[in-house]
């Protein structure tokens, strides 16, 4: 379950069948796994899962051909969650962070091209968008961030 590229999987013969273990043995195996896994591993797996789900919901994987309609609210949530977690995992990813940022960019482009509106915008279509104030640290313009919907 580790994302450590140097980690080797246990030999197939050494993996016991969970049905053959007692409750105490299962608990010990679970505790050993928890001791081995790092929070970084879980965060990285979460980011990868979010990007994969977002791509599927946007119809970027070809899976939508099976009759599944794109769900751009789910895509937006995947984008927002990935953007929130990315600063936490970038140091661990090192040069591989570029692949994650590229995948996030593809999701953002798909969302923008879809014409989907964030929930707040969709609820109040008559309200004019608030213009960012010059020097406003939270504005997308001053920060150089590309992602604006939902801020």
pTM of the model: 0.63
Q: Which of 47, 146, 55, 148 is nearest to 106 (CA)?
A: 55
The confidence score (pLDDT) of residue 140 equals 44
pLDDT tens digits, the chain, 151 residues: what are they? Answer: 444 545 555 555 567 787 888 999 999 989 999 999 999 999 999 999 999 999 999 999 875 456 778 999 999 999 999 999 999 999 999 999 999 999 999 999 999 999 887 766 545 555 555 555 544 444 444 445 556 555 5
Contact 111, 148 (CB under 8 A): no
Cα angle at 34 between 29 and 37, to 5 degrees? 125
Contact 72, 80 (CB under 8 A): no
**How far, in whole angstroms, is CA 118 from its chain's centroid?**
18
Residue matched to tokens 């923008």: 112
The confidence score (pLDDT) of residue 18 equals 77
């Amino acid at each position: 379950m580790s994302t450590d590229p140097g980690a080797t999987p246990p030999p197939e013969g050494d993996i016991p069948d969970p049905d053959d273990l007692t409750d105490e043995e299962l608990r010990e195996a679970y505790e050993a796994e928890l001791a081995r896994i790092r929070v970084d591993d879980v965060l990285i797996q979460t980011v990868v899962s979010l990007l994969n789900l977002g791509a599927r919901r946007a119809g970027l994987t070809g899976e939508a051909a099976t009759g599944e309609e794109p769900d751009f609210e789910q895509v937006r949530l995947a984008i927002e969650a990935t953007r929130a977690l990315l600063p936490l995992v970038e140091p661990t990813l090192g040069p591989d962070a570029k692949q994650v940022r590229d995948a996030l960019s593809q999701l953002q482009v798909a969302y923008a091209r879809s014409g989907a509106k964030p929930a707040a915008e969709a609820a109040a279509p008559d309200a004019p968008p608030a213009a960012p104030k010059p020097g406003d640290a939270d504005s997308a313009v001053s920060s150089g961030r590309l992602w604006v919907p939902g801020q």
